[in-house]
Chain A
Amino acid sequence: MNFTALLPPSAALVLAPLLLGIVNRTKAIFGGRRGQPLLQLYFDLFKLLGKGATYSQTTTWLFSAGPIIGLGAVFVAALLVPLGGVSGSLSFTGDLLLFAYLLAMMRFFTVLAALDTGSSFEGMGASREVLISALAEPGLFLCLATLARQTGSLALSKMLGEITTRSWLQHGPALALVAAALLVVILAENARIPVDDPNTHLELTMIHEVMVLDHGGPDLAFISYGSALKLWVLSALFVGVVVPVRTGQVLVDAAAGLAGMFLLAVVIGVVESTMARLKLLRVPNLLVGATALAILALVLVVK
């Protein structure tokens, strides 16, 4: 096995929580605060792993299986995505579909674990989560279809590896549209503003956070780490499109990819600081808009 192929997943596993640290630091700076340490999520995870847990009497095996299946699924997804120009560990024709459906599996079991508590709040969050993800799915697939058409490949690593500065010169507008659509998908799938507010404190207004209200201890650690990984893998997709540094030098490509990831985290922080959350009824419009952008990109590539 090629040693460099282990680089993207190791980077994901080690650095994913840092990405959220950067987002939070950006938000703090915008808010005029000093903010929590960059490594706060690592401390949180460490603390949670050392804690006991309290389970609701209503819950069954699905409640504790949800976080584990979710983390397992996103772990495999992390093996598939490249980092910048560096290929992922697993790469084969059609792996982009496995990637998308692994994220769907993570969501499926998170939702079931939420419903397992019998809480209205968690039911409400679950209901919103499936609404948003069902509408985000066509956008994501059409972005992938556009990239497939542009690069002639059906494997994530190969597909994103083909995107160079030349492809930006040739198909700049289409790739920009894909990037815009992907950014909306990232924000929606990872419960960020303007779709969901990760910092809200009212159960009724949460989406992702409310689904995990009853989880604690190691279960919550798995969920938090899984969410961080999910943000990382989707961001890696975005960075693969917008950072076309393909020198063939593993270190240079990986460094460019990493820089892109951290820059994206700053961008997410800026978006979160400068935008208000959309009304829930407006979220479908945003996601349908993203799908429309993806269709437009496809039209531009085809013409």
Chain B
Amino acid sequence: MPLFLIAMGLVTLAGLIALAAGRSGRWSTLVGAGGAVVGCTLGLVSVFRVALGQPAQALRLPWAMPGATFHVELDALSGFFLVPTLLLAALAAIYGIEYLRSFREKKNLGVLWCCFDLLVVSMAMVMIARDGLLFLVAWETMALVSFFLVAFEHEKDEVRKASWIYLVATHIGTAFLLVMFLLLAREAGSFDFDSFGRARAAGPALVGLVFMLGVVGFGTKAGFVPLHVWLPEAHPAAPSHVSAVMSGVMIKTGLYGLLRLLTLLGFPPAWWGWLLVGIGVSSGVLGVLFALAQHDLKRLLAYHSVENIGIITLGIGLGLLGVSLKIPALAVLGFAGGLLHVLNHALFKGLLFLGAGAVLHATGTREIDHLGGLAKSMPRTSLLFVIGAAAISGLPPLNGFVSELLIYLGAFSSIAAARPLVVLVPAVIGVAGLALIGGLAAACFTKASGMVFLGEPRSHHAEHAHEPSLSMQVPMMILAAGCIVIGLLPAAVVPALAAATLPLVGPLGSVVVTTLEHAAKSLGMITLAAGVFLFVVAALTIWRRWLLVRRPVEESVTWDCGYAHPTTRMQYTASSYAQPLTKLFALFLRTRQHLVSPQGIFPSASSLSTETPDLFSRGLFAPLFARAESALSRLRVVQLGRVQIYVLYIVVALLSLMIWKVN
């Protein structure tokens, strides 16, 4: 614990020094990024040990805040979430050094690195805080510094708009959390997490209310549909290494908060599980559908975060059902699968965002339909991106498959064991949902990697692309290696989830280790199957080379039915590739088409463009906010624009408060 706090202190200090050295782009980068790397590496050492099951370490200091103490604790659950957080933060910092080089003249990088470092520290504080107020302070710091990071390129209109949406969304979420903590503290008499257990005495209605407030508050950060609307705006707007951290780990603080809340609220009723299974499946399916319709690479990836949060939530929901109805396999496999997917998603989503950043860096555009053929100019990046794409689509032998397999196994085992309908229905919905999500995700990522990296360049942007420098490649390679290692050796990884799963399953704690070891037996067979697969692939590769070595091998053009003047713009585009699926699901997507069709006998210039604005931000939040605005605009009568009047308001407010208090 002291080591961890020192490491975080170091990151904070580095951030402040970077801020002070803001004038010099070189020094602020060196200190800001270097401090993050060193601090996160130091922190990882102590976090790893705790995540693997070493005893929790706590620290309690007096704090000058009324009713609160500075109570922090590093236990297995916190440790488990901190591993991907610190790892991805360190890698993103290394990546950011080179990524931001072109901004050194134009921007004050000290501010950016200070915010980045503070983001890392505040995420860590959120995960170790054991006091309501401390948690909220860290939560709010995290929201504010990430707002500044999103607004990095604030001279662009769309970036400003995106950062405002983010700021509003995150504060609405925080408002729910504030009420939640106040309710808990009122019942428990203190803001300390340890005392929150007393709130259970207030009856199921209050506990249920607290749970719902938590789902909305934490769900806004995590991106549950329909609270996800800020994600596809904010993540593309931020610099790519920041997007990687935000999408890969920051949104997970919402899930962490929800899980921590669950450990405090005691025995869960079954409806919590149903609710989370419902949220999980709908977020998963809608997230991937919205992603399919996008043609901005980073926006597409942001929607995929919604999808993956859905998968994790599905796992948590099934786990809760298992705890509630005392089904050990479902509880342990659901929670363990969800937790492992948290780690996995950080790895492959980090990898994909960094890959998208490399594409943006090399071509200057995120528009998939303007790219193409980058596998030739960026062979390493394309290989790494394809690994990430296969991993996020849940293909074996990569890590996404392992975590989805655990969730599937939990659901399937309850189906096979002839459980009652209350479990069976969510389990079947989970299986069908995951299958559909898997198929659609494969469609979406063949689109993303195929249209960006394969074929011919579709515009001049893509023609002069180049491989990024080594300091940008190495972080991606490490993340890809993580995806491969977990995928190949799942039997070594999954039993290590026991410590983090333990606090979540409550009374079923005694079976966690045996259930996971039982699952590890199956996973060992997956290693065997992966070995056979790799052997066959290697053998076929050698055989093919041997077959072709004495035969004529020629190069020619792609078969185009004998058409005489093909151009690269005649290739299938991302929009046309996804069109059958977007048309099929038009009910949810409402893609808008702007078509100028050819006129007259001789074809004239024509054009077609499509856009898919978010269904919920257009259909739900825009009208809601418009109505709120028109209702609140009546209050403008008190807004007179004179400072004296406002001072008067303050005095009146203070006086009335004092009178109220004295009475």
Contact = CB atoms under 8 A, between A and B. Distances in A.
Interface of A: 49-62, 64, 68-69, 71-73, 75-76, 79-80, 90, 92-98, 100-102, 104-105, 107-108, 111-112, 115-124, 126-128, 130-131, 133-138, 140-142, 144-145, 148-149, 151-154, 203, 213-214, 217-219, 222, 280, 284, 291, 298, 302
Contacts of A153: 416
A104 to B, nearest CB: 6
Contact of B442 (A54, A108, A117): A108
Nearest to B374: A60
Contacts of A112: 386, 446, 449-450, 454
Nearest to A127: B577
Interface in B528-543: 528-529, 532-534, 536-537, 540-541, 543
B276 to A, nearest CB: 20
A107 B393 CA distance: 12
A131 B584 contact: yes
A58 B580 contact: no
B412 A145 contact: yes
Q: Is the interface of B mostly helix, strand, loop or mixed?
A: helix
A219 B412 contact: no
B570 to A, nearest CB: 6
A242 to B, nearest CB: 21
B436 A108 contact: no
Nearest to A79: B532
A282 to B, nearest CB: 12
B412 A60 contact: no
B557 A68 contact: no
Contacts of A94: 405, 408-409, 412, 522
Contact of A117 (B435, B455, B529, B570): B455
Contacts of A122: 572
A72 B537 contact: yes
15 contacts: A52-B551, A54-B554, A54-B555, A61-B375, A62-B386, A76-B532, A90-B529, A93-B522, A98-B529, A112-B450, A117-B559, A121-B561, A149-B416, A152-B417, A153-B416
Nearest first, the 9 closest Cβ-Cβ pairs linking A and B are: A123-B572, A134-B439, A118-B455, A115-B450, A52-B551, A130-B443, A137-B439, A52-B552, A141-B435
B436 A137 contact: yes
B553 A53 contact: yes
Nearest to B436: A138
A149 B556 CA distance: 53
Given A72-B533, A127-B580, A219-B544, A154 B413 contact: yes
Given A90-B528, A104-B438, A145-B428, 9 more contacts: A53-B551, A60-B379, A101-B401, A118-B455, A119-B559, A120-B571, A121-B560, A121-B561, A127-B577
Nearest to A299: B428
Contacts of B401: 101
Nearest to A105: B395
B144 interface: no
B390 interface: yes
B133 interface: no
A110 to B, nearest CB: 9
Contact of B395 (A90, A104, A144, A219): A104
A213 B421 CA distance: 49
B45 interface: no
Interface string B414-453: 0111100100100010011011101110110111011100
A57, A133, A134, A218 pick with most chain B CB within 10 angstroms: A134
B45 to A, nearest CB: 34
Given A134-B581, A141-B431, A101 B394 contact: yes
Interface in B137-177: none
B375 A62 contact: yes
B319 interface: no
A55 B548 CA distance: 12
B578 interface: yes
B526 interface: yes
Interface residues of B, number: 83
A142 B424 CA distance: 12
Interface string B366-387: 0000001101100100100010
B525 interface: yes
B605 to A, nearest CB: 20
Interface string B610-640: 0000000000000000000000000000000
Contacts of A120: 560, 570-572
A191 to B, nearest CB: 16
Contacts of A72: 533-534, 536-537, 540
A58 B558 contact: yes
B469 interface: no
B57 interface: no
B244 to A, nearest CB: 23
B405 to A, nearest CB: 6
A302 B421 contact: yes
A298 B443 contact: no
A52 B434 CA distance: 42
B449 to A, nearest CB: 7
B450 A126 contact: yes
Contact of B584 (A93, A96, A141, A284): A284
B396 A98 contact: yes
B521 interface: yes
B555 A56 contact: yes
A151 B413 CA distance: 12
Given A68-B540, A72-B536, A142-B431, A154 B375 contact: no
Contacts of A60: 375-376, 379, 382, 454
Contacts of A100: 435
Contacts of A118: 372-373, 454-456, 558, 568, 571
A149 B418 contact: yes
B454 A115 contact: yes
B555 A142 contact: no
A144 B432 CA distance: 11
Given A54-B554, A55-B554, A108-B393, A73 B416 contact: no
A87 B659 CA distance: 83
B395 A117 contact: no
Given A69-B537, A218-B548, A127 B559 contact: no
Contacts of B395: 101, 104-105, 108
Contact of A302 (B424, B559, B580): B424
Given A126-B446, A134-B442, A138-B435, A222 B525 contact: no
A141 B432 contact: yes
A134 B438 CA distance: 8
A123 B401 CA distance: 26
A234 to B, nearest CB: 15
B439 A135 contact: yes
Given A51-B551, A64-B544, A68-B540, A56 B439 contact: no
A134 B440 contact: yes
